[in-house]
Structure 1
Amino acid sequence: MLRTLYVKDFAIVGEAEIGFGAGLTVVTGETGAGKSLLVDALLLLAGNRADASLVRHGCERAELSAEFDLGERTDLRDWLREEALDDEEACQLRRVIRSEGSSRAWINGRPVTLTQLKALGERLIEIHGQHEHQALLERSQQLALLDAFGGHGEALERVRALASSWRTVNAAIREISGDEDHGERIEWLGHQVNELETHALDVQALATLEDTHKRLANSGQLLQGCAGLADQLDGDSEFSVSRLIARAHGECVRLAALDPKLEAIGELLDAARIHVDESVDSLARYQSSLDLDPERYAEIDAQLGKLHELSRKHRVPMADLKAHGQALREELDALRSAGIRLLALQKQETEIRREFETAAKALSLARTGAAKRLGDAVGALLADLGMAGGRFEVALEPTPNKDPDAQGTERCEFLVSANPGQPVRALRKVASGGELSRISLALEVAALGFDEVGSMVFDEVDAGIGGAVAEVVGQKLRRLGQQRQVLCVTHLPQVAAQGHAHLKVSKASEADSTETRIEVLDSRARRDEIARMLGGVEITRETLAHAKQMLQVAQASD
């Protein structure tokens, strides 16, 4: 429930702090005084978009704040705790709008996004503007109102969840069994995979193959070169390396006999001779291992040629052909198993559709009962609202779509007959402005209060009515105020008299500035304000007496 509302430098309001209690609080004032500014402030605190024009002229910013009593609303406490915005029992909303157009919001002193502010605001307060009844002409809004009236939230959520699951599974089925020819793709993949698995090599095997190919391609040159090298190392020539080292070693030994310091050099030359001998042996073994088989060379050359061909064909390096073949294998296996997966998905789709039909049927039965109750409730209110003999019905029509629908298997249409003897027709086609206002108010009085929102605001929803009908409207709002906190901006004395509390909005001009003032009226001031609303400029003794009587009658009705 709304406890206090504070506004500063907002539109033409300088500064005001207003306390609210339970029941029906009415807001009155001259036309143009700014009665609807209270509603605008609450709308902004409930998350509506801000406009820099709402900042009072000459001021840097407008400040708005409201404090709510959560009462027994454990759902709101849980939400605040989940968002880390809880502060014991407090629930304060604050909004600052700057003159350059930016705005900031806080909940319990902590900065929040506009989305968070709106999520909490719509749980705290419902605001019904003077043009909101136009939304009731939309069939989607009519169905939403019927579900709210019937308390179908859980059943509707079940239907929505099943419809969402069905769409997900159906999309997977379409993806598998789409227009693409999977048989042709499988055949092509099978050929490519077989070819790659036959010929593709991993990186190490490919490197070995390329080395072997290079060696075989140059085997003649290698043999010839090795023979020449062997002759240089240990040939018959007196200038071969082994003979030169042997002579040098002998000379060094002779000299070492004269000077022992040369013995170390002799040892090095002896070691060099050993290394040359080992090199000659290794070279001989290498020569004997060289393969001059032309058939083996041709075979490896053909294998490399095939790998080059596959590399060009698949547009990947030869070293990546093995991995590419594995990727194609995975795709091939997936397509081959798609048939099995498709059968499983089709079975799942059938099961979801069966569950949806059961859930949708239960929702349809609940809607049928709620439609009858809502029709009876609104029809009874129409007579009280000056439409005696009028009829109101809620028609449920099956949807042409046979697939699971998130809204269920039917749509809703509000039907009305404003005059006795006339057939009911769609509300959106037959209601005049005044009739629509009264029908909308009847719907609100009949249907609102079925949720947990503790505060409701009505902004001149009584426009277009008067006399005895206006008094009935006031009585309905007062009765609604016994269950919920209600704030009503009105221009009708019959409605104003029904309030449990009364706020007056007035506008005063001083020098070159204009300011709106908001005051709480006591019983005498209430009488005077209602007399003004009854009598206009000249307030007579009779008018004051009438106003006093209206207040007494309203209080006696409790």
Structure 2
Amino acid sequence: MLRRLTIRDFVLVDQLDLEFAPGFGVLTGETGAGKSILLDALSLLLGDRADSAMVRAGCERAEISGMFDCAPVGPVAAWLNENDLEADTEVLVRRVVDGGGRSRCYVNGSPVTAAQLKSLGELLADIHGQHAHHALLRGDAQRELLDTHAGATALAKEVSAAWRAWQAAVRALETAEAEGEATAREREMLEWQLSEARTLAFVQAEWQQTNADHQRLSHAAGLIEGAGAALDALDEGELAIATEVERLAARMAELARFDGHLTPVAELLDGAGIALGEAVAELRRYRDRMELDPEALAECERRIAAVTQFARKYRVAPEGIPALEAEWGERLALIERASDLDALALAESDARTAYHTLAAELSERRRVAAASLGSSVTEAMQDLAMAGGRFEIRLAEAPSGGAHGQEVVEFLVAANPHQEPRPLAKVASGGELSRIGLAIQVIASEAQAVPTLVFDEVDVGIGGRVAEVVGRRLSELGRRCQVLCVTHLPQVAARADWQWQISKESRDGATYSRVQVLDAAARIDEIARMLGGERITETTRTHAAEMLGFEATTG
């Protein structure tokens, strides 16, 4: 359950630190006082979309944090473990929204994504907005509510995924059957191209060596002539450089005996002579090894021509041939898989079976939940000024199935006795819709394991005895979990275990929301205001005390 909520610079709130109690609590106050702002802050904390308008005017950012109790074993603890977050007896959730509308989310001090925060928020609290009953007119909302009541939300997602997988398998089989001839031609072409590429047997290292060999062989005559000329100049000619350097080195070594300053010169010449001797030896080996090889040159030229022709044909550089061959191989493998009709038919059959198995399980859980919810809402209608009314959930079979299962979910209602139930959207008046919607939300919430339930003015459009019934049902619900309710009805507020008053105040030219925790005397004044408006009389005060006294005696 929610223990503490801290709000900073959010809309009209500059700073609020709120401590929450268990049971049934109500937030009351004048229209426009900002009661729903607190629930908006809680909704943001639990994963609703952030917006720059949430930041109080003149501030850089808004910050909301909340502390929730966490059972050592349960959905919240499991979620924390699955997301590698420290699980404790408390969960601290924090969200910061800057002036640009960007937000950052934290759980127990660790950053999380907005999607993670929303999934955790669904386990911590369930918020029913002011217009939740209007959403019940939509078929998708009716289906989702039934699935939630049936505890089949995860199963419904599995059914949807299985449907998509089945349809993909159907399309793959149909495509293979329809495009069989074209696919066969493409496969034949790919096989021929791959055969050509494999015959070429292009290897990057071999291609580089072939080009180097061609460079050498095509200039063999010049290389042999150049090596001979160098040898002649260095060692074999009349004015051989190596011999002359050797002679000069010996002469400098002799003179260095008389003047040590010549020693470095003698050593340099001696080193030069050694280097020239090594160069001469290397040149002799090169000349002896080097020879004209027209056949090897012709082979290099044939290889270069074959590779160049292949590359030009398929419009790639020679270095791109391996990638092209791999691409052809992958495409051929894909085509072979996509054109294997037996395998595709088997895959389609398996996917169809998987879908129908999951959809049948979902249908059964919906059937049981529809009977249970229909009976409970019908019973509640008898206390909500709709005596003799009935509520049913029709599961109309969808023969071919669909992403949402094998049936269409539709809420039906008969507001009066002797009427046949008809679609909710076509029968219920505004007041009836509010009462039916509230009954559905309360009953559906009773079946959920969410520890905190929030109702934001869901009792609009009801009053009198019906309001007393609603207050009693919310009070009963508060014995099983924490219930927070924004309300204008004194009959509902009087049933609460605790009550806060929301008001506005002006300071320094700015408007702020203010929250006051009401004690017993203040609750009498607030209930009296709700009963009689601005002018509170002793009669309304006495009536308020009686309502609270009745609650204290019998609640």
2:123 aligned counterpart, secondary structure: helix
Matches within 5 A, 1:159-174: 159-170=159-170, 172-173=172-173
Matched residue, 1:452: 449
Report which stretch shifted further, 328-337 or 34-43: 328-337
The answer as to whether partners of 1:8 and 1:62 remain within 8 angstroms in 2 is yes
Matched residue, 1:184: 185
Report which stretch shifted further, 59-68 or 41-50: 59-68
CA distance in 2, matches of 1:492, 1:7: 26
CA distance in 2, matches of 1:508, 1:5: 21
The answer as to whether partners of 1:507 and 1:516 remain within 8 angstroms in 2 is yes
Matched residue, 1:259: none
CA distance in 1, matches of 2:367, 2:38: 39
1:166, CA displacement in angstroms? Answer: 2.6
1:121, CA displacement in angstroms? Answer: 2.1
CA distance in 1, matches of 2:303, 2:151: 76
Matches within 5 A, 1:179-218: 179=179, 181-192=182-193
1:24, CA displacement in angstroms? Answer: 0.7
Cα distance change, pair 301–58 in 1 and its aligned pair in 2 (3 A): closer
Matched residue, 1:254: none
1:71 aligned counterpart, secondary structure: coil
CA distance in 2, matches of 1:197, 1:58: 71
Matched residue, 2:246: none
CA distance in 2, matches of 1:196, 1:184: 18
Q: Give yes or no for the alignment of 1:419 onto 2:402.
A: no
The answer as to whether partners of 1:5 and 1:65 remain within 8 angstroms in 2 is yes
The answer as to whether partners of 2:72 and 2:89 remain within 8 angstroms in 1 is no
Q: Which amino acid aligns with 1:354?
A: T
Cα distance change, pair 290–475 in 1 and its aligned pair in 2 (3 A): closer
Cα distance change, pair 330–20 in 1 and its aligned pair in 2 (3 A): closer
Cα distance change, pair 447–331 in 1 and its aligned pair in 2 (3 A): closer
Matches within 5 A, 1:46-57: 46-57=46-57
Matches within 5 A, 1:83-482: 83-86=83-86, 88-98=88-98, 101-153=101-153, 155-170=155-170, 172-173=172-173, 176-177=176-177, 179=179, 181-192=182-193, 312-316=312-316, 335=335, 339-340=339-340, 342-399=341-398, 401-402=400-401, 405-482=402-479
Q: Give identity over the alignment, percent.
A: 43
Matched residue, 2:64: 64
Q: Which amino acid aligns with 1:32?
A: G
CA distance in 1, matches of 2:323, 2:95: 60
1:379, CA displacement in angstroms? Answer: 1.2
Matched residue, 1:13: 13
Cα distance change, pair 164–103 in 1 and its aligned pair in 2 (3 A): closer
CA distance in 2, matches of 1:507, 1:322: 74
CA distance in 2, matches of 1:417, 1:427: 9
RMSD after superposition: 4.3
Matched residue, 1:45: 45
2:5 aligned counterpart, secondary structure: strand
Cα distance change, pair 211–490 in 1 and its aligned pair in 2 (3 A): closer
The answer as to whether partners of 2:210 and 2:304 remain within 8 angstroms in 1 is no
The answer as to whether partners of 2:210 and 2:300 remain within 8 angstroms in 1 is no
* TM-score where L is the length of structure 1: 0.75
The answer as to whether partners of 2:169 and 2:351 remain within 8 angstroms in 1 is no
CA distance in 2, matches of 1:108, 1:320: 52
CA distance in 2, matches of 1:211, 1:103: 64
Matched residue, 2:26: 26
- Pairing partner for 1:516 from 506, 509, 513: 513
The answer as to whether partners of 1:125 and 1:454 remain within 8 angstroms in 2 is yes
CA distance in 2, matches of 1:69, 1:167: 44
- Pairing partner for 2:503 from 502, 506, 512: 506
1:521, CA displacement in angstroms? Answer: 1.6
The answer as to whether partners of 2:396 and 2:409 remain within 8 angstroms in 1 is yes
1:334, CA displacement in angstroms? Answer: 6.1
Cα distance change, pair 422–520 in 1 and its aligned pair in 2 (3 A): same
1:101, CA displacement in angstroms? Answer: 4.7
Q: Give yes or no for the alignment of 1:497 onto 2:498.
A: no
**1:430-483 deviation per Cα after TM superposition (whole angstroms, max 9, x unaligned):** 322222111110111111132221111111111111111111111111111111
**1:484-508 deviation per Cα after TM superposition (whole angstroms, max 9, x unaligned):** 1001111111111110111112333
CA distance in 2, matches of 1:28, 1:543: 17
Report which stretch shifted further, 493-502 or 305-314: 305-314
The answer as to whether partners of 1:4 and 1:17 remain within 8 angstroms in 2 is yes
**1:27-80 deviation per Cα after TM superposition (whole angstroms, max 9, x unaligned):** 111222222222122112112234444444455544432211113553312323
The answer as to whether partners of 1:200 and 1:307 remain within 8 angstroms in 2 is no
Report which stretch shifted further, 103-112 or 376-385: 103-112
The answer as to whether partners of 1:200 and 1:322 remain within 8 angstroms in 2 is no
* TM-score where L is the length of structure 2: 0.76
The answer as to whether partners of 1:147 and 1:153 remain within 8 angstroms in 2 is yes
Cα distance change, pair 211–379 in 1 and its aligned pair in 2 (3 A): same
1:386, CA displacement in angstroms? Answer: 1.2
Cα distance change, pair 391–333 in 1 and its aligned pair in 2 (3 A): closer
1:120, CA displacement in angstroms? Answer: 2.2
**1:243-300 deviation per Cα after TM superposition (whole angstroms, max 9, x unaligned):** xx9xxxxxxxxxxxxxxxxxxxxxxxxxx9xx99xx99x99xx99x989xxxxx9x99
Matched residue, 1:545: 542
CA distance in 1, matches of 2:507, 2:211: 100
**1:510-556 deviation per Cα after TM superposition (whole angstroms, max 9, x unaligned):** 56344432122222221222122112233333322222221222233
Matched residue, 1:76: 76
The answer as to whether partners of 1:27 and 1:35 remain within 8 angstroms in 2 is yes
CA distance in 2, matches of 1:290, 1:96: 79
1:21, CA displacement in angstroms? Answer: 1.5
The answer as to whether partners of 2:71 and 2:77 remain within 8 angstroms in 1 is no
Report which stretch shifted further, 135-144 or 56-65: 56-65
CA distance in 1, matches of 2:314, 2:22: 78
**1:160-207 deviation per Cα after TM superposition (whole angstroms, max 9, x unaligned):** 453344345445545655536122223434555556666777786999
CA distance in 1, matches of 2:441, 2:33: 27
Cα distance change, pair 544–507 in 1 and its aligned pair in 2 (3 A): same
2:349 aligned counterpart, secondary structure: helix
Matched residue, 1:258: none
Cα distance change, pair 166–517 in 1 and its aligned pair in 2 (3 A): same
2:86 aligned counterpart, secondary structure: coil
**1:121-171 deviation per Cα after TM superposition (whole angstroms, max 9, x unaligned):** 222111111112222222111111111112224543543453344345445
The answer as to whether partners of 1:200 and 1:321 remain within 8 angstroms in 2 is no
Report which stretch shifted further, 40-49 or 124-133: 40-49
The answer as to whether partners of 1:206 and 1:319 remain within 8 angstroms in 2 is no
CA distance in 2, matches of 1:208, 1:13: 78
Cα distance change, pair 417–323 in 1 and its aligned pair in 2 (3 A): closer
Report which stretch shifted further, 314-323 or 87-96: 314-323
Q: Which amino acid aligns with 1:130?
A: Q
